[in-house]
Structure 1
Amino acid sequence: MHPTMINNWKRQLLDEASSLFEKGSETSKANESQQAQIDELYRQIGQLKVERDFLANSSAQLGLKSEKPW
């Protein structure tokens, strides 16, 4: 570890330490935004799984080659 890097971290902590304990700070807003994005991604994953399974079943019914690599 280089001393300059440690000094930069220390300075950053001292400058932003008060925001760690504030309620309703930007970090909580960022966490809410990230959680909303995660929820949307999980929704999309679920939708894609349903579509994949539907297409796999449909292709099997039509007699098309269906190998499930997953």
Structure 2
Amino acid sequence: MSELAAAYEVHPTMIHQWKKAVLEGAAGIFERGGQAVATAEIAEETVRDLHAKIGELAVANDFLSRKLKPWIGK
């Protein structure tokens, strides 16, 4: 797991969660047929939106940390 996490730059906990989700829901993929594809597209869109939000928050945190340096002394 640690090699996969390092190779794909994700936390090992995420790989464990993904594995658990696959093992619990793999049969449902074959039962639902085309519905799984639509769900995957929605998931990809959600991930893109969340990555964009993370980027916005990172920029805001960086800005605030630079502006607060004179007051916190770091």
Normalised by the length of structure 1, the TM-score is 0.57
CA distance in 2, matches of 1:52, 1:46: 10
The percentage of aligned residue pairs carrying the same residue is: 21
Residue 16 (structure 1) shift: 2.2
Unmatched tracts of structure 1, length 5 or more: 1-11, 20-24
Unmatched tracts of structure 2, length 5 or more: 1-26
How far does the alpha carbon of each residue in 1:7-55 deviate from its partner, in whole angstroms, 9 at most, with x for none?
Answer: xxxxx77x928x2xxxxx1111000000000000000000000000000
31, 34, 41: which one aligns with 1:16: 31
**What residue number does 2:66 align with?**
57
Residue correspondences, number: 47
Normalised by the length of structure 2, the TM-score is 0.54
Q: Once superposed, what is the RMSD of the aligned Cα atoms?
A: 2.4
- Identify the structure with bigger relative contact order (alpha carbons < 8 Å, sequence gap 6+): 2
More helix by share: 2
